Structure 1
Amino acid sequence: MEKKATDNHPSDCDVTVQLSDCGREDAQIVFDTLDHVFVGCDLPASGPEQRHDHEPTVWMATFDSSARSGGDLPGPPRLTTPVAAVLTGDHHAVEEVEKELGRLFEVRTSESVPGEHERELRLLLAPR
């Protein structure tokens, strides 16, 4: 995992994003898109392309919802297939990431699990 500096940010701003039902290219598109909006705390290393059919079943990265990176997107993100996403973190932090994903992708909320201190949100991301 790559580590980006986010100078002593509060941990309740961190949102873990887990992606599944997709390949490396679509996972990278989602993470790169989020990285243009939020500062990524832990991003998956790009690594060499895999030469076989086996891909990880879950891709994961953490973003600081309080730190905007201010980067401009080169264009609308283009997924090749819908991507299942699970957001986990503080209620407000998850809400911030959900809003941005809704602005960037077609989002269908499939399930929200509230907790006392944390919220888990399951989404299906599709290209617009």
Structure 2
Amino acid sequence: MENNGTNNHPSDCDVTVQLSDCDREDAQTVFATLDHVFAGGESSAPGPRTGHGAEPTVWMATFDSSARSGDDLPDPPRLASPVQALLTGDQHAVSEVEKALGQLFDVRSSESVAGEHEKEARLLLASR
């Protein structure tokens, strides 16, 4: 296991989550939900709105799949519209995050591509 040196956990537990085709509020909802499930994530969730420039087309954060909090969410997360999510990382780590998202959101479509050590999963998330 390779250690990334900055968080004192194996880097093969990290999953990068990229969200696209969504607004800031939906990205915040997905990342806040993952922050709740995977305590101690390195989320750089979208901050408060500043300026009047164009929104980014992709929101990105990294989560430690080994830091599952076990806490239940008080209410199901709500999304204004479906959100495309791309998960990348170690096969087991991506599967853990994919399973958590499937318990929290309605996964309308799912595609996975597995490599020798890594996995890429594309999900379409919607409110339950």
Settle same-fold status: TM greater than 0.5.
Answer: yes
- Taking the aligned partners of 1:20 and 1:57, their CA distance within structure 2 comes to 6
Indicate the percent of aligned positions where both proteins have the same amino acid: 75
Query: What are the equivalent positions in structure 2 for 1:97-112 lying under 5 Å apart?
Result: 97-112=97-112
Question: Mind listing any 5+ residue stretches in structure 2 that lack a counterpart?
Answer: 1-5
- Taking the aligned partners of 2:30 and 2:9, their CA distance within structure 1 comes to 23
Q: TM-score, normalised on structure 1?
A: 0.87
Q: TM-score, normalised on structure 2?
A: 0.87
CA shift at 1:38, angstroms? 0.5
Aligned to 2:3: none
SS at match of 2:65: strand
- Taking the aligned partners of 1:45 and 1:108, their CA distance within structure 2 comes to 23
Aligned to 2:24: 24
1:36 is aligned to 2:36: yes
- Taking the aligned partners of 1:8 and 1:44, their CA distance within structure 2 comes to 19
SS at match of 1:39: coil
SS at match of 1:41: coil
Are 2:77 and 2:104, in contact at CA under 8 Å, matched by a contact in 1? yes
Greater share of residues in strand = 1
Aligned to 1:96: 96
Question: Mind listing any 5+ residue stretches in structure 1 that lack a counterpart?
Answer: 1-5
Aligned length: 123
Amino acid at match of 1:96: E
- Taking the aligned partners of 1:111 and 1:46, their CA distance within structure 2 comes to 26
